[in-house]
Structure 1
Amino acid sequence: MKTELSAELKLYIGIDIHKRNWKVHCSTDLFSGKSFSMEPSPDQLYEYVIKHFPGHEVTTAYEAGCCGYKAHRSFESYGWTSLVVNPADIHRKGKERFTKTDKIDAQLIS
């Protein structure tokens, strides 16, 4: 008997965007993910996703801030769903309210 996937593979990317670097957290329905830093380049993120997550439906999210909507427009041009979120709307619990790092922000956004 041949088995086939009946569900779409999904990738969720949370990004803490700054001018000089991005903290990125990738997660799927199956695993909580991996965090890493990269240069602030939508094209480099696209290459990473194509290499490591082929065939996934991609959703990105990042906090609205000083860097504008260039990344958002780039992500949507790749066919990805892209969200620019209000930082105050990101749910934090307990210790996360007092411990603020770029890595934690990217994980919570993802």
Structure 2
Amino acid sequence: MKTIAYLGMDVHKDTFNLCALDGTTGEILGETRCASDVKLVKKFIEKIASNHKGEIQVKAGYEAGCLGYSLHDLLEKQGIDCDILAPTTMYSSSKNKVVKNDRLDAKMIALNLANNTYKPVYVPDEEDICVKEYIRMMKDFKTSLKKIKQQVMK
């Protein structure tokens, strides 16, 4: 039987806090704090899989924040299914609001993944990124054209 492990990640520029939760029993499979490197996340997942009997599937997630889509893209390239959670849609207990630390945040993200009590952030594909860059380029050209016209008129 294939078990789903939910990996909550509280991510910062320099460090990641990871918390893996068993999808069926709700027990914590492992917690750790590591440097902000996708290889270390993959190593943590492999360690969890080796300790767990049977086949394991991992669903990872982190709160939308300073890292944007870069971590999501790196995890997807490593073959790890990942969601970016919108912070305003996540369930948060009153205890977590009083006592706030990275370890509890990672656990709360894992619980939200397991219970599906969040809305994922839309991750743009390659075409969306190209359109966005094209619109920015056109805006820059219009701004520079306006400045040049103003200089000529002076």
CA distance in 1, matches of 2:71, 2:2: 24
- After superposition, what is the alpha-carbon deviation per residue over 1:16-51, rounded to whole angstroms, capped at 9, x for unaligned? 000111111011133521321001011111122123
Greater strand percent: which structure? 1
Say which structure, 1 or 2, has more relative contact order (CA 8 Å, 6+ apart): 1
Runs of 5+ in structure 2 lacking a partner? 111-154
Pick which of 44-53 and 60-69 moved more: 44-53
TM-score (norm 1): 0.83
Greater helix percent: which structure? 2
- After superposition, what is the alpha-carbon deviation per residue over 1:62-84, rounded to whole angstroms, capped at 9, x for unaligned? 00101122221122122222100
**Shift of residue 102 of structure 1?**
0.9
Structure 1 residue ranges, 4+ long, deviating more than 3 angstroms after superposition? none
Q: Quick check: 1:102 aligned with 2:102?
A: yes
CA distance in 1, matches of 2:46, 2:72: 18
**Are residues 95 and 81 of structure 1, via their aligned partners in 2, closer, same or farther at CA, if it must alter by over 3 Å?**
same
Percent of aligned pairs with the same amino acid: 23
- Tell me the C-alpha RMSD between the 2 structures: 1.6
Higher Cα Rg, which structure: 2
TM-score (norm 2): 0.62
Runs of 5+ in structure 1 lacking a partner? 1-6
1:15-94 mapped onto 2 (5 Å cutoff): 15-28=9-22, 29-33=24-28, 34-54=30-50, 55-94=55-94
Aligned length: 104
